[in-house]
Amino acid sequence: MSQTATFVFCAILATAYSADRKFPPGFIFGAGTSSYQIEGGWNVTDKSESIWDVFAHTPGKVRNDDNGDIACDSYNKWKDDVQMAADLGLHFYRFSLSWPRLLPTGFPNEISEDGKNYYNNLIDGLLEKGIQPVITIYHWELPQRLQNLGGWTNPSITDWFADYARVVYTLYADRVKTWITINEPIIMCDLSYNTGVTAPGIKDPLASYMCGKHVMIAHAKAWRIYDKEFKPKHKGRVSVTNQLIWFEAKTPEEEELAKLTRDLSVGLHSHPIYSKEGGWPPVIEEYIAKKSKEEGYARSRLPEFTPEEIELVKGTYDFYALNYYTGGTIRKARDGETIDPWPLSGLPELEAVIEKRPEWKKSEVYWFSVYPEGLRKQLVWLKENYGDLEFLIVENGYPSIGLNLQDLNRISCIEGHLEQILLAIKEDGINITGYTVWSLMDNFEWNEGYSIKFGLYEVDFADPARTRTPRASAHYYASVIKSHTLDVNIVENKHITDEL
């Protein structure tokens, strides 16, 4: 690592090669961040407000009333970020674009010079170090103006997003070859519009599925624009990323309910794109239609796709991108039991309660237990349901609380997931081509503010310089990448000052 004076209390050494711990040639490693979570620079030059600026500036919305005004100050310190990515030896760095930084009006009538240059510099800086930029076009930073017009509940957003996507392809497709249109439709729609814990904080039982439909169409339009107008020349690839929590039955009697849970939580935003017939998963469509009728609605709360929309969305992928963190068990709620909302306490829609198995290792963060086997099971499920796709894991990581450079729990969590990835590749024949740690560094963890840390690098948010320090996990990950194996020994209590 470049900070030679840094104390790290464990050393990571690559050991002898063993075939089953080796990654396939061409398997790539990265780390991820997103714009609002790291950039800061919330009101520089002509940037307009995003829904997160407004939300985080509203007292009581974010833990400790934290906000992303400065965050990791990556708006000013992007060169440090590139250097960290280079020190880790990353093959790619996944980051996102701030829509209101690039298009202050929300629309392409005005493209910000400052915003355009910021991402140009970042992309060029990465490429100079041989690191591929992987761009998420939308990681939850909507211009507030568009929210005032209904945001993701207004069907016009599918065109607003498509227009924005065309601008970013025009600016960057010459250098960026891997694109994620939208981050985690199910989480974004539910937390933003149903439980209301994230921006814009709307709590409306109908809004989440409206958002869910428009996200699918917005993604499809953006995918088709790239496919038609940019792919022939630039030869890149575009997909959407789904957040997948692996749900399994608590007892064998609950297998049917667990299956329905997967059809809802994974199928809702996969079936329209990856299945042969397209559209919502039929069992879910029927289930919600029936329930909506019983509740007295004139039509299903899950808005229908027209036949044209089904065709528009179907097949709009170049690979399957997924974020995986944890698992849950499913059981039927008892009579009168209160079901806390999704994503990790319960699924009121299915009258299901989500719990953790006692044997899964707990983290310091309530929603997160370490269940790497769930990732392999999830990949097998996806292959069985949608065929032999290419899978790119674009988020996986470990949350902790408080400052701690010796993050051995994070190391063992990452190692556990990488072991399962190797098993999925070698035993199940699944085509997984890359892995991404969330996150390159500690950052603004949405409604939890800075209280939860995911970073390979620790960031000192009390320090105006936002000093970044590599944790033990950074050394571990660098060593895995360099050796292209999991044959990496962790030697505790050794003081290393040398470059890896």
Q: Which residues are catalytic?
A: 184, 395
| Cβ neighbours for 141, distance < 8 A, ≥ 6 positions apart | 34, 35, 36, 50, 51, 52, 96, 98, 99, 100
How many other C-beta atoms lie within 10 A of the C-beta of residue 497? 11
1 contributes a contact to ligand PNW by CB under 6 A? no
The residue among 164 and 446 lying less far from ligand PNW, judged by its C-beta, is 446
| Least CB distance to ligand PNW at residue 425 (A) | 24
181 contributes a contact to ligand PNW by CB under 6 A? no
| Cβ neighbours for 498, distance < 8 A, ≥ 6 positions apart | 4
| Least CB distance to ligand PNW at residue 313 (A) | 22
DSSP at 449: T
DSSP at 328: E
The residue among 119 and 325 lying less far from ligand PNW, judged by its C-beta, is 325
Closest CA to 66 of 95, 40, 92, 86: 40
Binding segment (CB under 6 A) for ligand PNW, from list 55-63, 256-264, 319-327, 356-364 = 319-327
| Cβ neighbours for 5, distance < 8 A, ≥ 6 positions apart | 497
Q: Which residue bears the tokens 């470990």?
A: 398
Q: Select the residue interacting with ligand PNW from 39, 81, 184, 349 (CB under 6 A).
A: 184
395 contributes a contact to ligand PNW by CB under 6 A? yes
Binding segment (CB under 6 A) for ligand PNW, from list 179-187, 286-294, 309-317, 376-384 = 179-187
Q: What does residue 308 show for φ and ψ, rounded to 5 degrees? A: -65, -40
187 contributes a contact to ligand PNW by CB under 6 A? yes
Query: 173: which 2 tokens?
Result: 């497709």
Q: Which residue bears the tokens 């996200």?
A: 215
Closest CA to 152 of 221, 219, 208: 208
| Cβ neighbours for 6, distance < 8 A, ≥ 6 positions apart | 469, 470, 497
Closest CA to 198 of 37, 44, 368: 37
| Least CB distance to ligand PNW at residue 22 (A) | 29
Q: How far apart are CA 211 and CA 143, in angstroms?
A: 16
> Which residue's C-beta sits nearest to ligand PNW?
343
| Least CB distance to ligand PNW at residue 368 (A) | 7
| Least CB distance to ligand PNW at residue 475 (A) | 22
The residue among 147 and 323 lying less far from ligand PNW, judged by its C-beta, is 323
Binders of ligand PNW in range 22-51 (CB under 6 A): 34, 37
Q: How far apart are CA 153 and CA 217, in angstroms?
A: 12
The residue among 183 and 483 lying less far from ligand PNW, judged by its C-beta, is 183
The residue among 140 and 172 lying less far from ligand PNW, judged by its C-beta, is 140
78 contributes a contact to ligand PNW by CB under 6 A? no
329 contributes a contact to ligand PNW by CB under 6 A? no
Q: Select the residue interacting with ligand PNW from 333, 367, 404, 490 (CB under 6 A).
A: 367
| Cβ neighbours for 465, distance < 8 A, ≥ 6 positions apart | none
Binding segment (CB under 6 A) for ligand PNW, from list 44-52, 112-120, 141-149, 322-330 = 322-330
Binders of ligand PNW in range 6-25 (CB under 6 A): none
| Least CB distance to ligand PNW at residue 454 (A) | 6
The backbone region for 72, taken as left when phi is positive above 0, alpha when psi lies in -120 to 50, beta otherwise, is alpha
The residue among 310 and 339 lying less far from ligand PNW, judged by its C-beta, is 339
Binding segment (CB under 6 A) for ligand PNW, from list 49-57, 156-164, 180-188, 475-483 = 180-188
Q: Which residue bears the tokens 């829609």?
A: 349
344 contributes a contact to ligand PNW by CB under 6 A? yes
208 contributes a contact to ligand PNW by CB under 6 A? no
413 contributes a contact to ligand PNW by CB under 6 A? no
| Cβ neighbours for 256, distance < 8 A, ≥ 6 positions apart | none
Do residues 93 and 126 lie in contact, with contact meaning Cβ atoms separated by under 8 Å?
yes
Binders of ligand PNW in range 238-257 (CB under 6 A): 243, 245
Instruction: Show the CA angle centred on residue 218, arms to residues 216 and 221, nearest 5°.
Output: 110
Give the total of residues touching ligand PNW (CB under 6 A). Answer: 17
Instruction: Show the CA angle centred on residue 340, arms to residues 336 and 344, nearest 5°.
Output: 135
343 contributes a contact to ligand PNW by CB under 6 A? yes
Spell out, one character per residue from 93 to 122, where the chain touches ligand PNW: x when CB under 6 A holds, - when not: ------------------------------
The residue among 324 and 386 lying less far from ligand PNW, judged by its C-beta, is 324
Query: 105: which 2 tokens?
Result: 């009006």
The residue among 100 and 343 lying less far from ligand PNW, judged by its C-beta, is 343
Do residues 354 and 249 lie in contact, with contact meaning Cβ atoms separated by under 8 Å?
no
Binding segment (CB under 6 A) for ligand PNW, from list 42-50, 271-279, 318-326, 345-353 = 318-326
| Cβ neighbours for 478, distance < 8 A, ≥ 6 positions apart | 1, 12, 87, 88, 89, 500
Residues at the site binding ligand PNW, with contacts judged by CB under 6 A? 34, 37, 183-184, 187, 243, 245, 323, 325-326, 343-344, 367, 395, 438, 445, 454
